[in-house]
Structure 1
Amino acid sequence: MTTPRYAYLGPAGTFTEAALRQVAGPDEATYLPQTDVASALAAVRSGEADYAVVAIESTVEGGVTATLDSLAGGEPLVILREMLVPVQFTLAAAPGVRLADVRRVSAHPHAWVQCRRWLAAHLPGAVHVPATSNTAPAALIAEGGPLPFDAALVPPPAVSTYGLEVLAHDVADNATAVTRFVVVGHPGSVPERTGADKTTLVVHLPDNEAGALLAMLEQFAARGVNLSRIESRPIGDALGRYSFSIDAEGHITDERVGEAIMGLHRRCPYVRYLGSYPRADELEPTVHVGTADADFVGARDWLRALRDGSAT
């Protein structure tokens, strides 16, 4: 069998790689590190990779816009699985650097946001030097030579991988921070329903229509489908035009979810299905009275009987 190829945000040691290892170890797959999320998804679209592992949501910043925007357009891709990774950082530097020496800190923008209160308390006035990933500055430190920063916020495993010196452990404003990652691939067979699933969609609203957002949300509410995430993103073609990125509880083969998606298709000008897949936390949704599969099937059978005159 051909070894599956996974594109992910590299270099080695990132939280994305930690998420990838939950799916397939390095002896089971070919790891293809990329410089950013867009490149990882582009590798799947071009055929360079079979799958991509990318961050999609964090408890600190919400949706990862680079992922949401890339999935919302272009050649269709779907989410096949999700993984959860706890996130804390280590402040590290080249051997010989002291905490008192640090004036410039390299960090991925998401890492900086998740640690800014800690940095303000321990390194007041420190300047942020943006990095393309959480381990990119660690790799630069390991290469030696002049650096545009004094220290870096990196995942704890990167310390030993790149031979860094620890200046501070457990750097984070939120000790329980978690990032949600997803495996993305080409459309095909939908993963089997588990009973604890999630369905992701992108939906555009009709233009200049009062109550359009309410009408869209009613497609879910009327069928008992809870939304675990909804975020607006600019469509990009004009000011004031937004799409909605949505995570709905349930699987597309659930009657209530399928009915809601059909309602969106009737009501909204653009609906992109981004997959139904098992929830990483395995939480099953609450199914309210009248919204179980049997309720929808029974109601259709009753209507059919009314139409053919066999019921009153």
Structure 2
Amino acid sequence: MTFEPESSARRTYSFLGPVGTFTEAALAQVPEARGQEWRSVHNVGEALADVVSGRSHAAVIAIENSVDGGVSTAQDALATMPGLRIIGEYLVPVEFVLVGRPGAKLEDVALISAHPVAYAQCLQWLSSTLPAHAHVPAASNVASAMGMLEGTSDADAAISPPGVLEHHELELLASKIGDNADAVTRFVLVARTVAPPSPTGADKTSLIVELPEDHPGALLEMLEQFATRGINLSLLASRPIGDALGRYRFVIDADGHIEDERMADALLGLRRFSPKVIFLGSYPRADHAVVHYPERYSNDVFAEARDWLRALISGEPEA
């Protein structure tokens, strides 16, 4: 999928580096990024700023984890940086390995370097296999291994994604050490604002909506814009706006495409309801699951209702 005419110039894609991260594994799933320039950045803000400035054609960022929920830094950045649009999503299984310096042995491990989230997701395995270990936090899943190799960390081993072994000379001490074998992280491909790709029937629409005011039933009023049109929500997460206590915006993933009559009607309802609705994009689902809905919410039903209303206004006799 592309959002501008193709040219002979190589395109640049930003991702949270360094090489070997889960984000790089997600970028490897993007067909149009293969053979192009991949730019490693230090944080989500930098990746999205690359897109806004035109330095990069698009960026891949983590948006949700099946164990830890939404990635707040990514959600907040999308809420506050204008001119961005999600054009695709990709799923990466979360698998961790324990690595050491060349020649290291598992029984000698006493101090483990790991990003706090990765450490938490491997704690059961660590407690049963290395009960006497100590933990030193690392800035990222790959930084944990790099600090050990470069001598900036005293750790005997590091928790990292499997991809780190493809780029660095490390000893594999244990594989599949995560406590949840079904853990997965959802990544999105973000470009500058463009028209959404055509509907496929297996689509998702992402939004950020602010409540107009804090009053009883305000959240219910927002949710009714979807419920009364037969739209299922696969993600509903609250994030503080930051200007006062009790003020929240809601990150929403809704099943369907903006060109679906029921979704378009829901967005019109949201726009009337909320002072700020951010449309992040309609794009194909990574799991290709077809969106099913009752027949009373089909496009034809919405079109017939509009035609009926026009006929009433024009004074046409009822059939």
* Residue 105 (structure 2) pairs with residue 98 (structure 1): yes
Offset of residue 225 of structure 1 = 0.6
Structure 2 Cα separation of the partners of residues 279 and 60 of structure 1: 20
Of the three residues 261, 270, 273, the one matched with 1:264 is: 270
* Residue 210 (structure 2) pairs with residue 204 (structure 1): yes
Gaps of 5+ in 1: none
Q: Is the 8 A contact 2:214 2:247 kept in 1?
A: no
Moved more, 24-33 or 78-87: 24-33
**Aligned CA-pair RMSD:** 1.7
Specify the SS of the correspondent of 1:229: strand
Q: Is the 8 A contact 1:7 1:31 kept in 2?
A: yes
* Residue 250 (structure 2) pairs with residue 244 (structure 1): yes
Q: Over residues 71-100 of structure 1, what are the superposed CA-to-partner deviations in whole Å (9 max), with x where a residue is unaligned? A: 011223111000111111100011233333
Distance 1:311 1:152, change over 3 A: farther
Partner of 1:234: 240
Count of residues in Structure 1 that have an aligned counterpart in Structure 2: 311
* Residue 56 (structure 2) pairs with residue 55 (structure 1): no
Distance 1:236 1:126, change over 3 A: farther
Distance 1:239 1:102, change over 3 A: farther
Offset of residue 294 of structure 1 = 0.5
Query: What percent identity do the matched residue pairs reach?
Result: 50
Partner of 1:116: 123
* Residue 169 (structure 2) pairs with residue 163 (structure 1): yes
Offset of residue 119 of structure 1 = 2.0
Q: Is the 8 A contact 1:15 1:85 kept in 2?
A: yes
Structure 2 Cα separation of the partners of residues 287 and 25 of structure 1: 32
Structure 2 Cα separation of the partners of residues 237 and 129 of structure 1: 35
TM-score by length of 1: 0.94
Instruction: Please show how residues 105-144 of structure 1 align to structure 2 within 5 Å.
Output: 105-124=112-131, 126-142=133-149, 144=150
Gaps of 5+ in 2: 1-7
For 2:11, the aligned partner's letter is P
For 1:306, the aligned partner's letter is L
For 2:104, the aligned partner's letter is V
Distance 1:217 1:8, change over 3 A: same
Partner of 1:275: 281
Partner of 1:39: 46
For 1:263, the aligned partner's letter is G
Offset of residue 146 of structure 1 = 4.4
Structure 1 Cα separation of the partners of residues 250 and 113 of structure 2: 32
* Residue 178 (structure 2) pairs with residue 172 (structure 1): yes
Offset of residue 15 of structure 1 = 1.1
